Amino acid sequence: MPQLPDSIRNAAAAFDTLPGVGPRAALRYAYWLVTQPKEAIGRFARSVQGLAEGLTICTECGQWSDRSVCAICTNTERNTSVLCVVATSPDVQSIEDTGAFKGRYHVLGGTLDPIEGRTPDTLSIQKLLKRIQASSDRVTEVILALNTDVPGDVTALYLKQQLEPLQLKVTRLARGLPTGAALEYADSMTLADAVKNRRES
């Protein structure tokens, strides 16, 4: 794109790094931005900058938050005896959108996949075990709300083995979710049904 102004080329290159966005779509986004009022472009830029400057990881559960301990972890009305283990922060939001779960969460930061370099040491598994053991509110059930694909199943099996000595009820979401499905893309009704009809893992 040598004939393009640097500002458009740079914006298109930035959009091109987003998942699912190719060079043509990236260029369309850049051209669209150019047609917007300067104030709108400024708001857009500030909101993106805010992702870098205003977000942190919750020290309790590991999800993205705008404070050191997220709103879910500080909510005293949540059921502290049930802990829902998910792979990523978007999974927390997907389950929250169902309104079917009122406990707390633990974000692993991914699922086990040695080929991709994701081993137990790279995930928040030891922190999960320590969190359960150190909790003043006794955790009685751990829900493994992981994707129904091979890495999700492998992670669930590994976690079940690690949790066994703690003598907890360990459940997985019901298989209303199709095999290979990502939680992030499941509709609210399917996910709510899966949470309500979870089974022993």
Q: Where do the domains of the chain lie, and which CATH numbers do they carry?
A: 6-54 (1.10.8.420), 64-200 (3.40.1360.10)
- So what's the pLDDT on residue 177? 65
| pLDDT level of residue 1 (50, 70, 90 thresholds) | very low
H/E stretch holding 26: helix 23-34
Per-residue burial over 129-144, b if 16 or more Cβ lie within 10 Å, else e, is eebbeeeeeebeebbb
What is the average per-residue pLDDT within 44-61?
92
Residue 165 exposed, middle or buried by CB count within 10 Å (0-12, 13-18, 19+): exposed
Q: Which two tokens stand for residue 191?
A: 């996910």
Residue 128, pLDDT above cutoff 60: yes
Residue 178 DSSP symbol: P
| pLDDT level of residue 181 (50, 70, 90 thresholds) | confident
